[in-house]
Structure 1
């Protein structure tokens, strides 16, 4: 089961999506949730993971945070999960090329 909470940010409205295990996704305002694996979804503005995600994003947008400390619920193939784990390990302010990520995984 997935829960969602819409939030307003400096980059537009976002839809936070989480399971009880962690944050599963962040969708842009006009993203079609049917294109994701996060179905079905129930709105829950009081879900603790969604509340914490909103708080940390607010801190990020004000410049008070550069690293996120959230449980993540990766939904995908084993290969996709390896890629996402490599991506979240990139330090703030640094970049990696596709070939660098490929070598890491």
Structure 2
């Protein structure tokens, strides 16, 4: 997808998509992606401001209006993930037990999370290590997960 707004993040770039007055998507992009600043006063600008506040203080509470679009199962998983406190993690296995599901299904829902950071899927880890992140186990995305977790631990 081509993003009208691409903002800088401490770990690279984020594509930002808003629709109907709500944040709908944040997407991790390569560090070399061209920046496309938001229009002043736009919802994208507010989302960028709040993300900057999070980078300064991981306990920042996001108030930008957002909506998650997904299956009923994904919405349940994302709701559980949203309840994980900053600085803490939960295992895929534990979430799957709470949801009467499987760790793989929880991981699939995590990977399809359209607004990572705000719905903190980085706080979900494997029983033996970090696990994947953002539908990948590659070094770049795992580096982002590590950065977010370290940032929140202070």
TM-score in same-fold range (> 0.5): yes
Displacement after TM superposition at 1:101 (Å): 1.6
Q: TM-score when scaled to structure 1? A: 0.68
Displacement after TM superposition at 1:98 (Å): 1.1
Unaligned runs of 5+ in 1: 31-42
Q: TM-score when scaled to structure 2? A: 0.49
> Where do 4+ consecutive residues of structure 1 move more than 6 Å?
none
Q: Which has the higher contact order (CA 8 A, sep 6+)?
A: 1
Q: Which has the higher helix share?
A: 2
Find 2:38's aligned residue among 45, 56, 59.
45
Displacement after TM superposition at 1:44 (Å): 9.0
Distance change >3 Å, CA 83–CA 21, structure 1 → 2: farther
Quick one: distance in 2 between partners of 1:5 and 1:99? Answer: 36
* 1:7 equivalent in structure 2: 7
Q: Which has the higher strand share?
A: 1
Quick one: distance in 1 between partners of 2:83 and 2:21? Answer: 19
Unaligned runs of 5+ in 2: 31-35, 100-154
Quick one: distance in 1 between partners of 2:56 and 2:13? Answer: 16
Across the aligned residues of Structure 1 and Structure 2, the Cα RMSD in angstroms comes to: 2.6
Displacement after TM superposition at 1:63 (Å): 2.5
